[in-house]
Amino acid sequence: MKPISPEAIRTAIAAQRPVVESLFDRLAEGSRAEPGIMRDTYGAGENFAHELIAKHGANEGLQIHRDAAANTYLTWPGSEQGAPCILLGSHLDSVPHGGNFDGAAGVVAGLTVIAALKALGLRPRCDITVMGVRAEESVWFEVSYIGSRSALGTLPNGALEAKRIDTGRDLASHIAACGGDVEALRQGRRELDPATIRAFLEVHIEQAPSLVEAGLPLAICSGIPGNFRYPNARIDGRHDHVGTPRRFRRDAAMAGAELAMALDRLWAEQDAAGIPLAITFGRFHTDPAMHGLTTVPGAFDFSLDVRAYDPAVLSLLEARMLAIISEIEARRHVSFALGPRASASVGMVDPAIAAQLQAAAQSLGLPGTMMGSPASHDAAAFAAAGVPVGMIFVRNENGSHNPHEEMEIDDFLDACALLTSWVADQAA
């Protein structure tokens, strides 16, 4: 088959606009949370999204399959049996009161690419599969990449016992309730063998308005940060009367504030040196059962997420953090209990795929700027398993994890055109 022209790709993608708009509208209507949407991990909202996508795929003649973790696969079979497949997709869950596009855009993009290529008469050599991934948003179980790592057989030990923050039930029971096979997961069976995957590509809205600032509709990802996390850290001091002199105090709140400011200075130092990273205290509070206007806080709880693009930088940051904590403990006579540690590997984007996407963007008349992801994505789990990965970011006015995400459909269709061009070149 002769190459498909950029003009034909743009026309085929533009024809998909009504379907794209309908899918996003139906996803939003079925998971409204006021404000925003609620596609809770292994809950009613996420289930709704998977059912909607599966029904749409079946109507389009795609083969539908679910794995032990209840991930959804929608496959357009290729002509060469056994050829490594192209995997497109993203997650379908959201944070509480999130936006409609974070994650879901990647699944809708995959379906849009397949529809456009079908309309263009392509007969792919390899399977092209859209994966609706479960449980990417770690806020619910405080475990990263549950769906993708389950599929790849790399789910961390103990993850199935993690409790959902609102129900208190463990991950295993939630997966079972959604039709998954917990025993298969316990045995480490994997749905996806990295050797059988040509590449995993993910379209995602940008998390911070960098593209808005730059006036660009999209960017090609240059890397996905790894992280280390302490979801349930605590500082223990002593509850005292508000009039207690400073020399007697074991103030847990001041110890927490000192750690936060020390890490912020460390971040500023690295930022000035041109080393990108992010440090976030997601929870930061005294004990509500004990705190009050006239009480020196004897307990302080916090969560910490530190992310960077270089494993050596992450190791350095954690070592410096632990040294800072030791100094604070000695000076303020408190003790830190960091609790369970979680981590995710740095996601290395495949340089060949990034270069191919840049070339495709140029042929389509689209900007091919590169941008590092400020956030974690399922693509990082695939990269850690040895699968070549690529990502495309779409301009988004108000950031993600926000009920007011503002992705423009025109920008999304540009990203779909870029992904279609790459898939056509690789699968023809």
Of the CA atoms within 13 Å of residue 277, those in its CB half-sphere come to: 31
Longest C-alpha distance within the chain, in Å?
Answer: 82
Question: Does 56 count as an annotated binding residue?
Answer: no
Answer yes or no: are the C-beta atoms of 190 and 147 closer than 8 Å.
no
Query: Between the CA atoms of 23, 25, 31 and 33, what dihedral angle is there, to the nearest 10 degrees?
Result: 150
Question: Does 239 count as an annotated binding residue?
Answer: no
User: Which residues, in sequence order, are CB contacts of 41 under 8 Å at separation 6+?
Assistant: 93, 134, 135, 137, 140, 141, 146, 164, 174
Helices (H), 301-377: 311-332, 351-364
Name the 3-class secondary structure at 395: coil
Residue indicated by tokens 């240059």:
222
DSSP 62-104: -EEEE-TT--EEEEE--SSTTPPEEEEEEE----TTB-SSTTH
Q: Examine the pLDDT at 97 and tell me if it is beyond 90.
A: yes
User: Which residues, in sequence order, are CB contacts of 357 under 8 Å at separation 6+?
Assistant: 220, 368, 390, 392, 418, 422
Residue indicated by tokens 């995400």:
405
Averaged pLDDT score across all residues of the chain: 96
pLDDT value for 1:
65
Consecutive H or E run containing 417? helix 409-427
Residue indicated by tokens 């309908």:
22
Tens digit of pLDDT for each residue in 358-414? 999 999 999 879 999 888 899 999 999 999 999 999 999 888 888 999 999 999 999
Question: Does 97 count as an annotated binding residue?
Answer: no
Mean pLDDT of 146-154: 97
Mean pLDDT of 22-49: 97
Mean pLDDT of 74-82: 96
User: Which residues, in sequence order, are CB contacts of 314 under 8 Å at separation 6+?
Assistant: 226, 227, 228, 306, 307, 308, 346
Name the 3-class secondary structure at 176: helix
Answer yes or no: are the C-beta atoms of 116 and 12 closer than 8 Å.
yes
Residue 301 phi, psi dihedral angles, 5° rounding: -115, 145
Question: Does 102 count as an annotated binding residue?
Answer: yes
Answer yes or no: are the C-beta atoms of 337 and 353 closer than 8 Å.
no
Cα–Cα distance measured from residue 32 to residue 390, given in angstroms and rounded to the nearest whole number: 31
Instruction: Give the C-alpha distances (Å, rounded to integers) separating 62 from 9, 72, 210.
Output: 21, 12, 36
Cα–Cα distance measured from residue 30 to residue 226, given in angstroms and rounded to the nearest whole number: 33
Q: Examine the pLDDT at 141 and tell me if it is beyond 80.
A: yes
Answer yes or no: are the C-beta atoms of 89 and 185 closer than 8 Å.
no
Q: Cis peptide before 35, with omega less than 30 degrees from 0?
A: yes
CA 420 to chain centre: 22
All structural domains of the chain, each given as residue ranges with its CATH number in brackets, are: 6-224+347-427 (3.40.630.10), 226-344 (3.30.70.360)
CA 401 to chain centre: 11
Tens digit of pLDDT for each residue in 226-271? 999 999 999 999 999 999 999 999 999 999 999 999 999 999 999 9
Smallest Cα–Cα separation from 387: which of 150, 194, 209?
194
Question: Does 137 count as an annotated binding residue?
Answer: yes
Range name among 147-161, 196-210, 363-377 with the lowest pLDDT average: 363-377
Is this structure's pTM higher than 0.75? yes
